[in-house]
Structure 1
C-alpha cells in the first residue's frame, strides 16, 4: 500500500512538471509573450482569473503531499476529484498547439493512472 501512495505522489509530480513546462514552452511560441504584455489575449486577464488559475494549479501541487498523508477512503475521493478537476482544467484551458497537446496527453494519462490506482480492487490500494 505504501509503495502505491509513493507512485501516486510521483504521478502528481509528473503532472505538475508537465503543467509547468507546457506553460513555459507555450511562452516561447512566437507572439505569445508580446500578447500577454500588451494584454491582447483572447480574453481579459483579470485578478480574479489569475486567482482562479492559481487555485486550479494548487490542486495537483497539494495532491503530491495529500496522497501520502490522507487516510485510505479520503485519499481515494480526493485523488479522484483532483484528477477530474485538473483534467478539465488541462483540457479546457490549453492551446491548440502540438506541444500543448503532447503535454496535455501526458498529464491526462497520468491522472487516469492515478484514478486507476486508487480504485483498483474492492478496497482500493491506497
Structure 2
C-alpha cells in the first residue's frame, strides 16, 4: 500500500482523536453542560448533526485507503479546508486547552493538505502520468 495513504489515514485518525479529546476535556472542565449546546437543550436533529460532523474524519480514514489517488488528493484538500473553516467559525473557545487543541487540529489539517499536494506528484510519477 502507498505510504501516502497510510500517512493521510494516520493524520485523519489523529484529527479525530484531537476533536474527541477536546469534547472529553470540555465535559470534565465543566465548560459544557450535558444535553445542551450553547446553553440550550439540544434536540435529536442537533445530535445527529454533531454525529455527522464527527463522522467526517472517520470517513476520511477509509477514503484515504480506498479512493483512487487523484480524487483522494482533492477530497483531502477540500475536506481539510472545510474542517478548518468550521473550527474558525467557533473561535474563541472557552478554555486555553480548547484553543490549544484547535491549533493542533489546524496543524494536522495543514499536514493533510501538504501531504495531499506533495504526494500528488509522486502518485502521478508512479502511474506514468507525470
Whether these two folds match at TM > 0.5 is yes
> Cα 1:58–1:115, aligned 2, differ >3 Å: closer, same or farther?
same
> Cα 1:6–1:48, aligned 2, differ >3 Å: closer, same or farther?
same
Mapped contact 2:8–2:64 kept (Cα < 8 A): yes
> Cα 1:124–1:93, aligned 2, differ >3 Å: closer, same or farther?
farther
Q: Secondary structure at the match of 2:14?
A: helix
**How much does 1:31 deviate?**
5.9
> Cα 1:58–1:31, aligned 2, differ >3 Å: closer, same or farther?
closer
2:109 — aligned with what? 111
> Cα 1:125–1:115, aligned 2, differ >3 Å: closer, same or farther?
farther
Report matched runs for 1:13-92 at 5 Å. Answer: 13-30=13-30, 32=32, 35-37=33-35, 39=36, 41-92=38-89
The normalised TM-score by structure 2 is 0.80
After TM superposition, the structure 1 stretch with the greater mean CA deviation from structure 2, 104-113 or 45-54, is 45-54
**How much does 1:11 deviate?**
0.7
The normalised TM-score by structure 1 is 0.83
CA–CA distance in structure 2, aligned partners of residues 118 and 31 of structure 1: 35
**How much does 1:86 deviate?**
1.8
Note the aligned Cα RMSD (angstroms).
2.2
Unpaired runs of 5+ in structure 2? 124-130
**How much does 1:36 deviate?**
2.7
